[in-house]
Amino acid sequence: MTRPSDFQRVIISLFLVLLALVLVVSPLPMLLRSLGILLLSYAAFSWGGITLAYLVALLVPPAGLLTGDPNWLVMLPLILSSGLLAMAGLEYAWRYPAILISPLLYIAPQLFVWLVSYQPLFAINLPWEPSARTWISLHGLAALFAVLLLIYLERFKERRGHQHVSARSGRQSRNP
């Protein structure tokens, strides 16, 4: 398996951004749209690097306002802050520490809002679908799964690249 060229990376990156845009404006439940943005942000990191991951995590969710869903407007700051923290955790704690740090940073704003909303001063009914616990646990598990998959794919690429280089050097040593 060969490494994709720069042109292929651009095409795949553009596809991921467009897929995220279509997902965020589609008439799906808010939970699925939010999970889709989360997973596509991690996929964007895998293919296009951290810049593309930030693009998907921060610039795509506001496009959901085109649907006119007032619940999306209410949850948008939470989705944006969670995405920003998760991608920052992924960038600065890459590899094995990111397994814990990125998912925890993703759910940190959600946990804070959920816990603070029980206080009388900050009482608010957020449109968690179906419930706050389900929302937070699904997002945490999805982020954990995505980070584990990213690390597995990177190690797979490294092994394939190492085997390809060693096979090539073996052929060169046999042919004088």
Mean pLDDT by 10 residues, the chain (176 residues): 72 90 92 94 89 91 90 92 94 88 95 89 81 92 94 84 59 54
pLDDT value for 5: 75
| Phi–psi pair at 123, nearest 5 degrees | -60, 125
Domains in the chain and their CATH numbers?
6-174 (1.10.1760)
Tell me what pLDDT residue 174 has. Answer: 54
pLDDT of residue 6: 79
The predicted model scores a pTM of 0.83
pLDDT at 26: 92
Q: What is the pLDDT of residue 96?
A: 87
Nearest to 144 by CA among 42, 47, 30, 48: 42
